[in-house]
């Protein structure tokens, strides 16, 4: 029997793993297999698929043998592994590298208040353990800018076509010293968030390349994860993605 018109949908991530296979052949409840978590099986979703196929076909599929995929139309996996890691703070130790002067940027956030008159606003804790400030500064060239004017080291053009002034060049020697200190404290995951990197990412890329050479196992650049204006949401996304990847999500 071939079940090409059917699908198998496993969900995994919690203590139980569920597989559902809707069938067009029989007017009955779809066969469903719920199995305990991965501590009981080498691969719980595979075990669930095996049980579903046995129910659908009436044949035995030994656990120690590969699943016969010719009987499957497609598999769509739903998982909460990454979400669980985020909620339970079970990712690896993570450090954030940010433009100097913006150490608390992600802690402060946008200061949005879901309930305007709530006097007790619960602020979620950040996912990173340590913050390193980078002595670099890039500013958009725009009329009416109220920042004190400085003589730029150079003027560059971003991917959006905007012109930017590099007020302070990146000092990789200082960055290397800081990164080695982070590694010495056992932190091997690094998120990098530099201002205006969504349009001009040279400094972020240089930091990321250096971090990988020094031995960081995971490096996430905000300019690659979310190349969009607004540093706060870009930074949150950068850190979240890194944190969940570190946990294997």
169-181 mean pLDDT: 97
Most confident of 12-26, 71-85, 147-161: 147-161
90-114 mean pLDDT: 90
Average pLDDT of the residues of the chain: 83
* Nearest-angstrom CA–CA distance, 31 and 198: 48
- State the architecture of 7-79 in CATH terms: 2-Layer Sandwich (3.30)
Residues 196-239 pLDDT 10s: 999 999 999 999 999 999 999 999 999 999 999 999 999 999 99
33 forms beta bridges with 19
CB 204, CB 221: distance < 8 Å: yes
Strand 78-79 versus strand 7-12 pairing type: parallel
* Cα atoms found within 13 Å of the Cα of residue 212, Cβ hemisphere only: 9
Residues 4-51 pLDDT 10s: 455 776 766 655 566 666 654 433 344 555 555 555 667 777 887 888
pLDDT of 84 > 80? The answer is no
* Domains of the chain by residue range: 7-79, 88-246
Picking from 29-43, 62-76, 154-168, 178-192, which range would have the lowest pLDDT averaged per residue?
29-43
Question: Based on C-alpha coordinates, what's the Rg of the chain?
Answer: 25
The pLDDT score that the predictor gives to residue 32 is 53
Higher-confidence residue of 240 and 48: namely: 240
The pLDDT score that the predictor gives to residue 125 is 85
Crossing angle of the two packed helices 202-214 and 172-184, in degrees rounded to 10? 40
């Amino acid at each position: 029997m071939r079940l090409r018109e059917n699908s198998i949908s496993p969900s995994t991530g919690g203590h139980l793993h569920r597989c559902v296979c809707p069938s067009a052949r029989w007017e009955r409840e779809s066969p469903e297999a719920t199995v305990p978590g991965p501590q009981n099986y080498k691969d719980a979703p595979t075990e669930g698929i095996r049980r579903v196929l046995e129910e659908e076909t009436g044949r035995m599929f030994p656990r120690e043998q590969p699943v016969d995929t010719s009987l499957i139309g497609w598999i769509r996996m739903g998982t909460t592994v990454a979400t669980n890691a985020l909620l339970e703070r079970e990712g690896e130790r993570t450090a954030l590298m940010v433009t100097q002067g913006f150490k608390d940027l992600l802690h402060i956030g946008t200061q949005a208040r879901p309930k305007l008159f709530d006097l007790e606003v619960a602020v979620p804790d950040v996912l990173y353990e340590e913050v390193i400030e980078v002595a670099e500064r890039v500013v958009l060239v725009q009329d009416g800018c109220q920042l004190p004017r400085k003589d730029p080291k150079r003027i560059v053009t971003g991917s959006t076509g905007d012109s930017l002034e590099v007020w302070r060049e990146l000092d990789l020697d200082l960055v290397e010293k800081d990164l080695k200190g982070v590694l010495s404290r056992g932190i091997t995951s690094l998120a990098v968030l530099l201002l205006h990197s969504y349009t001009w990412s040279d400094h972020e890329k240089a930091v990321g390349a250096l971090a990988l050479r020094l031995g960081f196992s995971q490096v996430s650049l905000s300019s690659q994860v979310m190349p969009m204006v607004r540093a706060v949401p870009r930074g949150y996304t950068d850190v979240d993605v890194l944190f969940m990847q570190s946990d294997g999500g």
